[in-house]
Structure 1
Amino acid sequence: MISAPLAIFLMGPTTSGKTRLASLLYKELPVELISVDSALIYRGMDIGTDKPSKTDLQCSPYHLLDIRDPKEVYSVFNFRNDALNVMASITRRGYIPLLVGGTMFYYKALLEGLSVLPPSNLQTRKLIEDKANKVGWPYLHSQLQEIDPISAKLIHINDTQRILRALEVFLISGKTLTELNKNSGESLQYNVLQFVMVSMSRLFLQKSIEDRVYRMLELGFEDEVRVLYSRGDLHMNMPSMRCIGYRQMWSYLSGDIPYKRMIETTIYATRHLAKRQMTWLRSWKNDLYWLDSEKPDMAYNKILQVIRSRSESFCKNSK
């Protein structure tokens, strides 16, 4: 892999300061930024996803931002194909892809490839959907738990698209998603430097999450979701509306929970997300450079140091 092009991953839990650090690196290094976030792909979902402002994007533009309408489904397969195409284009222009975000499954899919799954079958899907209409998706999730407990644990009970796909794969192939995912596809043909931006203080992270939720509300998050709510072609079980914050605000607008409860559940869900992200990272099989989000200047200098030393070694090896 010595001759393979360089790529940089800047990972970490929510509110860890990845976006700000990426902007600084964009100004200093020959990089182009790629978003690795399953929520930032949606247009019109800006405040709740903490999307960089238009002013910030003019200074530090991103690829794979605002590429889907909230009514559209965007899979990990879509992301991997899009990311590989963008990375190749960036490399051809003589720049380094810098991938920034917190959707860990996307990073894993890029690094290790994806298993070859059977294509969707309309007849099989209709059978599953008809059954769901009769017995409900929670019951189908419990069936998935019996068939493939590992996948069921990773799929939320309200994630109807992924429940449907997992059951569909089993009915078509006779094998579970867990079995098929053991046979990954082609790995990433890049020399990847992987950095993790994370707070070393649990209290600091929790306070950052709480501050972010209240800042979202001050910036007009409720009005943003009201626009989506009033469209008429979106519903709570769509992947876009299951994003943290949007799901809770949708429940508030529907009259299912009071305003105070909406805030509490948003904070709780965001903290739980950060915990899951850290679980992914602690189990990561690849070498990671850990950075302290409470010391952003040191994190910035550390990345520059590592990249420059690695780039020099590539130059020496290529001679």
Structure 2
Amino acid sequence: MNRTPILVIVGPTASGKSALGLALARVLNGSIVNADSVQIHRGLDIGSAKATLVEQQEVPHHLIDIREPEEDYTAGDFVRDADEAIRLIGTRQRLPIVVGGSGLYLRSLLHGLAPELPRSATVRDALRQELDRLGPARMHEQLAAVDPRAAERIHERDTVRVLRALEVHRITGHPISAAQRAHGLAETRHRALVLAITARREDLHARIQARSQAMVRAGLLDEVRALLDSGVSPDAQSMRAIGYRHAVEVLVGGASADGLVERLARDTRRYARRQRTFFRRQLAARWLCGPMASGATARLARAVRESLSPGAALCDFVRLSPGWPDEDQALAAGPWSGEGIVSDADGAHLPAGECPPE
């Protein structure tokens, strides 16, 4: 295990994790390590809600704008680069604060890359032929029938991951989600305190709607048009991200620009749901119901500092971390104030002072 303590802040899109990361970085002498797969790429600014230049100057940020928009970037690349950023931040006597919502990146950083699952060119070619014949929706239905958990978190248009999950099932007879879930229980690679921030469903949906409108008004279509004009393929990895693929559908696929905001907000809501499900099942997080109440940031910063101090048990932090990890429950706790209900990663509500089961 890397003994450098790190703080990890996760949450669904528009939950406020970036703002929380910045607020805690200011108080805790922290530096941000980006764990958003879109912000990795240069030129993808509006659709990724990338930190502004002013914010990046105020608090050091790492792993932003490190790849061209047409370059692929894997979870393995992220683990290598994030490990180096964490090491560098530690040498500068600052706290590494990993902030983002890309679940595969975060799980790989904390638990290592999953063991390589079997592949078969024959099976893969057969699946591609089925995709051409049946279309993405029918292939996603096949996945839902054999691996509901994988289907829940993989969008039907993400055909690369849909076909990969089906390939694993056809070769092994077992769902890919089972292997991934087992991997999520592996020993952590870092001494990490993981905070997950969420919000009431209606509040999160309202933020997503407002964010979608703001992105389109800020020039999302112009940003994507400039990227395509510069030679970026509409099939590039970066162009498959939410927001960017919606703009490509308008600019290349002939979709109506009038419904762009609603399509973007709808798919972002679905993605946020998948994110919360993933974090609940895959990361041992302490959940907070945002937004932060007045004065709560300072109390939270003190709790983080104490939890990450030498000799502290990370589970001590649950005394101060209320939240509701199950989005199907009513979020009744209100703005986080430093008091109230505590919860572990599995959704069991714990008496104050108790640690979650090992």
**Do the structures match in fold with TM over 0.5?**
yes
Counterpart CA distance in 2 for 1:271 and 1:260 is 19
Structure 2 CA distance, aligned partners of 1:198 and 1:150?
Answer: 21
Task: Tell me whether 269-278 or 159-168 shows the greater mean CA deviation.
Answer: 159-168
Among 303, 307, 311, the alignment partner of 2:304 is 307
Shift of 1:284: 5.6
Mapped to 2, the partners of 1:79 and 1:59 lie a distance apart of 24
Quick check: 1:251–1:257 contact (8 Å CA) kept in 2?
Answer: yes
Counterpart Cα distance in 2 of 1:147 and 1:24: 43
Matches within 5 A, 1:104-115: 104-115=103-114
Q: Structure 2 CA distance, aligned partners of 1:135 and 1:275? A: 27
Between the aligned residues of both structures, percent identity stands at 31
Q: Partner amino acid for 1:106?
A: Y
Give the 3 Å change call, closer, same or farther, for CA 62–285 of structure 1 in structure 2: closer
- Does residue 253 of structure 1 match 2:246? no
**2:157 pairs with 1:154:** no
Letter in 2 for 1:192: A
> Structure 2 CA distance, aligned partners of 1:119 and 1:247?
30
Classify the secondary structure of the residue corresponding to 2:275: helix
More helix by share: 1
Who is 1:276 aligned against?
Answer: 274
* 1:1-319 correspondence to structure 2 within 5 Å: 4-118=3-117, 141=140, 144=143, 148=147, 150-166=149-165, 169=168, 177-181=176-180, 183-184=182-183, 187-199=187-199, 201-236=200-235, 238-254=236-252, 256-283=254-281, 286-295=284-293, 297-312=294-309, 314=311
Q: Which has the higher contact order (CA 8 A, sep 6+)?
A: 1
Q: Is the 8 A contact 1:42 1:67 kept in 2?
A: yes
Q: CA deviation at 1:167?
A: 5.1
Amino acid at match of 1:75: T
Q: What is the letter of the counterpart of residue 99 of structure 2?
A: V
For residue 278 of structure 1, what is the amino acid of its counterpart?
Answer: R
SS across alignment from 2:206: helix
Distance 2:221 2:127 in 1: 35
For residue 40 of structure 2, give the secondary structure of its aligned residue in structure 1. Answer: coil
Taking the aligned partners of 2:72 and 2:168, their CA distance within structure 1 comes to: 18
Q: For 1:301 and 1:291, locate their aligned partners in 2 and report how far apart those are by CA, in whole Å.
A: 16
Is 2:31–2:94's contact at 8 Å kept on the other side of the alignment?
A: yes
The 1:120/1:202 distance shift into structure 2, 3 A limit, reads closer
Secondary structure of 2:183 counterpart? coil
CA distance in 2, matches of 1:194, 1:164: 31
Report the Cα distance in structure 1 between the residues aligned to 2:28 and 2:205, rounded to whole angstroms.
32
CA shift for structure 1 position 50: 0.7
Asked if structure 2 preserves the Cα contact closer than 8 Å seen for 1:117 and 1:169, the reply is: no
Pairs aligned (count):
312
5+ long unaligned stretches in structure 2: 314-358
Judging changes above 3 Å, is the alpha-carbon distance between structure 1 residues 23 and 145 closer, same or farther for their aligned structure 2 residues?
closer
Cα distance in 2, alignment partners of residues 150 and 92 from structure 1? 40
Alpha-carbon contact 2:112-2:189 (below 8 Å) kept: no
Paired residue for 2:355?
Answer: none
